[in-house]
Amino acid sequence: MTDLEFLKLSGPAKTAWKIGNFFRLLPGRIGAGCRKLGLGIVRLFRSLGLNLKDLVDTFVHGDWKTKLSYLVMGFGSAARGQWGRGLLFFLFQTVFNFYMIHFGVAYLGKLNTLGTIETYKEGRRTVYGDNSFFILLYGVLTLFFVLAFIYTWRVNIKQNRISEEILKSGRKLKSTKEDLKSLADEQFHKTLLALPTLGVTVFTILPILFMILVAFTNFDATHQPPSKLFTWVGWDNFRQLLSSDTASYGNTFKQVLFWTLVWAFFATFLNYFLGMLVAIMINKKGIKLKKVWRTILVMTIAIPQFVSLLYVSKMFAADGLINSYLMKWGWISQPIPFWTNAGWARFTIILINLWIGIPYLMLIATGILMNIPADLYESARIDGANAFQMYRKITLPYMLFVTGPYLLSSFTGNINNFNVIYLLSGGRPLSLELSGNAGYTDLLITWLYKMTVTDTNYKLAAVMGILVFVVSAVINLIVYNMIPSVKNEEDFQ
């Protein structure tokens, strides 16, 4: 399709063409991605080979201080007068050796089985055996520690090689005082990033890796350490959750996933377009008390959701305010099953979410609408465009361009929108047709919460966490490459 033919297409046709074109190009992109992955692996092995060659060369051509640094980290730096660097390297090696001798080797040795000795009773005394949870947790931590040691040891050797080259050239090495000054000057970025990097590693990367590994174990209510051990089961949990048997976890997962995507779609786009419409109506010339209308809408944001959603949930109960007044006025003869019928519950949640979400979009849209040049609308009026045409050709493209990333993040946020579902319905109504204590209004995230807290089915909850990430990542990757603000950032006029 030529550029001229593409420009002649209507908005929906353009979107359909973009989606079709994306899937037409998908095999080529997958092939390109595989080639990049292959090249990355080749570069990785090449880098490892070069590093190994450098280590051998440094040892062969280095002096006795450098050679001894292969065994005692920091010796070369300290022997050349850089006491600060030498002391830090030596302390790190000392801590590593102490940890590995007293804890690390034992945890790594049991990591393949996650423990073999169960806790048992000996008379009135409890004899504690292995704890699979600690073995897995500290085993992963030990692996991180080993990688950190290898990297630090490599830096130690590199420092010795650089120091030798500096001394051979007749220059002086930096003193400890100069090193400290450097950390507050040209190396200040390392000083600032050291603590955040450690925090991200310990509190983000380590728990994520731990969760992924739990998905390959049988850690559940019947395998609770320290009284019971759990062990590796391979891909069994994934097969259980993705099976297609009726009344199984696989069937429940498909239903919950379908509702999660439906909910995310309506919760995102209904709020988006209705919030934009409200903003347009309030900003329209001739509308009085604009600040009052905005204040009234913002009040729904000011009230904590924990309070407002629980209150609204009671209003829609069988004996709540809504049903009571509808029956009092004679509009209905029996209570509407807002929370006991799957269809009504889902519709009610989407409806109530509009009350929460529209004010946010109204505020965002108000700021963007005020920045659209008035000349564009004036020119369109002169050309005879009506209000809908101006909205379709000017307002909507401008809004989509500016708020494209927000729409993407909002959709992802609604996939994981725990508060609205849990506080309104708690996932109800429940059904014997659904496994794992799931309900017809449960999202993947609320079902994961039930598995973890209520059923203590940690193995399937870990699998669920991985699948939620995969679903979110795939949607984000597809949509991110299609939104105008990313694809045509410099072409918007």
Over 50: is that where the pLDDT of 321 sits? Answer: yes
62 contacts 160 by C-beta, under 8 angstroms: yes
Residue 90's pLDDT is: 94
Residue range 166-176: mean pLDDT, rounded: 86
What is the number of other CB atoms lying within 10 angstroms of the CB of residue 279?
Answer: 25
Closest CA to 247 of 442, 434, 438: 434
Q: How far is CA 250 from CA 239, 254, 320, 354, 464, in A?
A: 8, 6, 36, 31, 11
Q: What is the pLDDT of residues 345-404, one digit of tens each?
A: 999 999 998 888 888 888 888 888 888 888 888 888 888 888 888 888 888 888 888 887
Looking at mean pLDDT, say which of 89-103, 120-134, 276-290 comes out highest.
89-103
pTM of the model: 0.76
What is the number of other CB atoms lying within 10 angstroms of the CB of residue 43?
Answer: 10
Least trusted range by pLDDT, from 138-152, 295-309, 454-468: 295-309
Looking at mean pLDDT, say which of 11-25, 220-234, 255-269, 454-468 comes out highest.
255-269
Over 60: is that where the pLDDT of 166 sits? Answer: yes
Residue 384's pLDDT is: 85
Closest CA to 147 of 115, 183, 108: 108
484 contacts 401 by C-beta, under 8 angstroms: yes
**Which residue would you say has higher pLDDT here, 300 or 320?**
320
Q: How far is CA 399 from CA 277, 370, 393, in A?
A: 12, 11, 11
Residue range 206-230: mean pLDDT, rounded: 88
Using the Cα atoms of residue 428, residue 432, residue 433 and residue 437 in order, give the sign of their dihedral: positive
Over 80: is that where the pLDDT of 15 sits? Answer: no
Residue range 321-327: mean pLDDT, rounded: 90
Residue 332's pLDDT is: 86
Q: How far is it, in rounded angstroms, from Cα 42 to Cα 49?
A: 11
Over 70: is that where the pLDDT of 277 sits? Answer: yes
Over 90: is that where the pLDDT of 147 sits? Answer: yes
**pLDDT range class, residue 150, cuts 50, 70, 90:** very high
**Which residue would you say has higher pLDDT here, 29 or 344?**
344
**pLDDT range class, residue 26, cuts 50, 70, 90:** low
**Which residue would you say has higher pLDDT here, 22 or 235?**
235
Residue 493's pLDDT is: 47
Q: Which residue has the tokens 């010339």?
A: 285
Structural domains of the chain sorted by starting position, each given as residue range(s) with its CATH number in brackets: 1-61 (no CATH), 74-234 (no CATH), 249-487 (1.10.3720.10)
Strands (E), 94-205: 120-122, 125-127
What is the number of other CB atoms lying within 10 angstroms of the CB of residue 366?
Answer: 18
**Which residue would you say has higher pLDDT here, 1 or 148?**
148
Least trusted range by pLDDT, from 100-104, 403-407, 408-412: 403-407
Residue 310's pLDDT is: 85
DSSP string, 403-445: HHHHHHHHHHHHHT-HHHHHHHTTTPSB-TTSSTT-BTT--HH
Q: What is the pLDDT of residues 119-144, one digit of tens each?
A: 877 777 878 888 899 999 999 999 99
Residue range 85-98: mean pLDDT, rounded: 94
Over 80: is that where the pLDDT of 27 sits? Answer: no
Looking at mean pLDDT, say which of 77-86, 92-101, 187-196, 267-276 comes out highest.
92-101
Q: What is the pLDDT of residues 297-314, one digit of tens each?
A: 777 777 777 788 888 888
